[in-house]
């Protein structure tokens, strides 16, 4: 019999089997129970976090014709789905199938009714890889999907999905799975397989998998191949070319005592044996961080990567200042890895830098107190940041007066939502924002979650759920998102009208909404500070709200209803 990979054997067959995505599973199960199934879903998140597995489960569940628990696992639909042969569950991998022709073929078939099940479900993996024309073809179908068709799009890179597609989908973000969830799931599997294990080894595997259940299972596969009867920490270490915790601590101590020559040789040897330098740097950072936590709290329960004994032994040679400096240098280095072709040489430089630091502190220790300039610098930076925040929050106390003293020849700024947002306009939004509004609305914002599955408001709710309010004025809201696609969509005229309606009808906020990305927000705050200093902040921007007849607040709606009734009575009386 050929060997079957663990992740194939243990792919979740029921919702209960999904590891670590409780919130998503619960929401989807509720939607199925209430028969509130959307026509398009977008599952985003890092690789191996269960997007495809949940997509397959959802496809199976909505096609299940059994009674009682869903999926029942017994009806012909469940059986076919479990064997991956259901004719109405169509899986596509855009990474390999990115031609427009394939998508066209699918769309041709979309209009035909399902063959065996209730719905035709199209699962498109890595949807961001579709070519532009394929995207457009898909968009057309998403605009008016036949009642029996459901699309489940999965992607590791939602930024690359067209905003117009995103806005037509119900979105779910799959988070990295917790180390504890992964290791307890590995434990269950090993018990079933009858393989012995030690818990530390499983935690190490979970840690190596970095939040991906599939990766964890394939690491476990490799460890089983190495030793089929038992999973132990040292086996995982040798399969994966990593140092033990004690070896890492020894390395830190050697750096502290500036044994340069020995260290250079060691790094070379590590590279030769295939030790992952990026990972090692990250591990060292975690050890230093936990040692610092221990120095402050002396609580062993707060330690995860090291134990009390490790922390104590490091604190014999490291002061808090040392720990801070080491963390800073290593963090800087790990940033550089992102673009590095050869991380080993960056690591070497970092080690030399740290050796230099160790020498310096040893020298100054003899002369007097250690310099704390770095810390002071840090504190200053923090104060400045807070300052920015405060300035942004507070309404200028007497904007009119200030302007009277030194009037600035500026015009009233107006913004057409069809045009890209102008800097002066945004600056005006910041200038006339009020902290109280923002605080109130941040509370209101939590309500949006409830409308995710709403037929009328679901789309707006999904768009607004993850954005943050930057500033709020009398008749406007400025929000930020880290995702360019979301920002673009919010500012799109047609969508913006819908959002305006949503805010008015659901949150009872009669405000225009504008979005910027985080980068632009930062630049904006900087520019705000500059203009504020020079007293050249713009005048209050003119906000033009959308005109839409259907946009009615609760009161207006009631009034309209009353008028309608009144009209009727008038007519009756008139007869």
Backbone angles phi, psi at 151, to 5 degrees: -105, 135
Q: Inter-axis angle of helices 245-256 and 320-337, to 10 degrees?
A: 110
CA distance to 83, 278, 473, per residue, from 555 (Å): 55, 60, 22
Which CB, 38 or 78, lies closer to Zn ion? 78
Interface with Zn ion, residue 413, by CB under 5 A: no
Q: How far apart are CA 172 and CA 54, in angstroms?
A: 11
Closest by CA position to 119, among listed 67, 55, 167: 55
Distance of CA 51 to the CA centre of its chain: 14
Find the part of the chain contacting Zn ion (CB under 5 A) among 25-33, 62-70, 117-125, 167-175: 62-70
Residue 72 Cβ vs Zn ion, minimum distance, rounded to whole Å: 4
The least CB distance from residue 32 to Zn ion, in Å, is 12
Shortest CB 15 distance to Zn ion, Å? 13
Query: Which span (74-82, 118-126, 308-316, 410-418) binds Zn ion, by CB under 5 A?
Result: 74-82
Contact between residue 414 and residue 545 where contact means Cβ atoms under 8 Å apart? no
Q: Is 486 in the site for Zn ion (CB under 5 A)?
A: no
User: Could you tell me which stretch among 66-74, 127-135, 308-316, 386-394 binds Zn ion (CB under 5 A)?
Assistant: 66-74
Taken in order 482, 488, 489, 493, the sign of the CA dihedral is positive
Nearer to Zn ion by Cβ, of 67 and 404: the residue is 67
What tokens appear for 208 in the block?
Answer: 């190596």
14 belongs to the binding site for Zn ion (CB under 5 A)? no
Contact by Cβ (8 Å): 442, 469:
yes
- 80 lies in the binding site for Zn ion (CB under 5 A): no
Give the pair of three-digit tokens for residue 455: 């037929």
* Residue 315 tokens, joined: 């604190």
Whichever of 62 and 277 has its CB closer to Zn ion, that residue is 62
Query: Between residues 45 and 71, which has the closer beta carbon with respect to Zn ion?
Result: 71
Tell me if 61 contacts Zn ion by CB under 5 A. no
Q: Which of 12, 46, 66, 458 binds Zn ion (CB under 5 A)?
A: 66
CB of 80 to Zn ion, least distance (A): 10
What torsion do the CA atoms of 526, 532, 536, 538 make, to the nearest 10 degrees?
80
| Closer of 64 and 485 to Zn ion (Cβ) | 64
The answer to whether 410 and 538 are in contact (CB under 8 A) is yes
Decide: is 64 part of the binding site for Zn ion (CB under 5 A).
yes
Measured from the CB atom, is 59 or 130 closer to Zn ion?
59
Report the alpha-carbon distance of residue 337 to residue 341 in Å, rounded.
Answer: 8
Interaction between residue 275 and Zn ion (CB under 5 A): no
CB of 123 to Zn ion, least distance (A): 18
Token pair belonging to 374? 């770095």
Task: Choose the binding region for Zn ion from 75-83, 428-436, 536-544, 564-572 (rule: CB under 5 A).
Answer: 75-83
Candidates 67-75, 149-157, 445-453, 518-526; binding stretch for Zn ion (CB under 5 A): 67-75
Q: Which residues bind Zn ion (CB under 5 A)?
A: 64, 66, 71-72, 75, 78
């Amino acid at each position: 019999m050929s060997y079957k990979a663990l992740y194939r054997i243990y792919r979740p067959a029921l919702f209960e089997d999904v590891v670590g995505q409780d919130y998503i599973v619960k929401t989807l199960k509720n939607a199925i129970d209430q028969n509130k199934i959307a026509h398009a879903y977008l599952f985003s998140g890092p690789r191996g976090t269960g997007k495809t597995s949940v997509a397959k489960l959802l496809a199976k569940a909505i096609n299940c014709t059994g009674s009682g628990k869903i999926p029942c696992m017994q009806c012909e639909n469940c059986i076919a789905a479990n064997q991956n042969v259901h004719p109405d569950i169509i899986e596509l991998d855009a990474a390999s199938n990115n031609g427009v022709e394939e998508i066209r073929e699918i769309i041709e078939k979309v209009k035909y009714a399902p063959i065996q099940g209730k719905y035709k479900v199209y699962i498109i993996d890595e949807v961001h890889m579709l070519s532009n024309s394929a995207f457009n073809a898909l968009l057309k179908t998403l605009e008016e999907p036949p009642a029996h068709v459901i699309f489940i799009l999965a992607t590791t890179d939602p930024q690359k999905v067209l905003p117009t597609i995103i806005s037509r989908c119900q979105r779910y973000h799959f988070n990295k799975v917790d180390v504890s969830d992964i290791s307890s799931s590995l434990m269950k599997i090993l018990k079933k397989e009858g393989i012995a294990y030690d818990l530390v080894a499983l935690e190490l595997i979970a840690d190596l998998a970095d939040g991906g259940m599939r990766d964890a299972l394939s690491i476990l596969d490799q460890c089983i191949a190495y030793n089929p009867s038992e999973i132990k920490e040292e086996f995982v270490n040798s399969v994966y070319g990593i140092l033990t915790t004690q070896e890492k601590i020894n390395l830190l101590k050697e750096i502290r005592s500036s044994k340069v020559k020995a260290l250079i040789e060691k790094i070379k040897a590590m590279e030769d044996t295939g030790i992952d330098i990026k990972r090692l740097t990250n591990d060292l950072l975690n050890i230093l961080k936990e040692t610092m936590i221990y120095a402050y709290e002396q609580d062993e329960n707060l330690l995860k990567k090291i134990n009390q004994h490790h922390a104590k032994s490091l604190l014999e040679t490291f002061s808090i200042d040392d720990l801070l400096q080491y963390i800073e240098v290593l963090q800087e280095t790990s940033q550089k890895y992102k673009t590095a072709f050869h991380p080993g040489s960056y690591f070497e430089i970092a080690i030399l830098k740290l050796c230099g630091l160790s020498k310096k502190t040893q020298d100054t220790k003899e002369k007097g107190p250690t310099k704390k300039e770095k810390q002071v610098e840090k504190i200053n930076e923090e104060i400045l940041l807070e300052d920015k925040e405060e300035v942004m929050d507070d309404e200028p106390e007497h904007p009119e007066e200030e302007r009277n003293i030194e009037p600035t020849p500026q015009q009233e700024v107006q913004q057409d939502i069809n045009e890209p947002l102008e800097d002066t306009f945004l600056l005006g939004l910041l200038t006339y924002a009020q902290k109280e509004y923002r605080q109130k609305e941040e509370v209101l914002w939590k309500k949006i979650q409830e409308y995710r599955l709403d037929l009328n408001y679901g789309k707006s709710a999904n768009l607004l759920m993850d954005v943050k309010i930057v500033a709020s004025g009398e008749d406007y809201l400025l929000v930020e998102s880290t995702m360019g696609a979301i920002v673009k969509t919010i500012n799109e005229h047609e969508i913006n009208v819908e959002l305006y309606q949503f805010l008015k009808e659901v949150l009872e906020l009669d405000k225009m909404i504008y979005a910027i990305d985080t980068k632009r927000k930062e630049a904006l705050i900087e520019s705000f500070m500059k203009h504020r200093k020079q007293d050249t902040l713009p005048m209050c921007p003119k906000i033009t709200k959308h005109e839409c007849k259907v946009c009615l607040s609760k009161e207006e709606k009631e009034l309209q209803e009353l008028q309608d009734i009144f009209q009727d009575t008038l007519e009756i009386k008139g007869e």
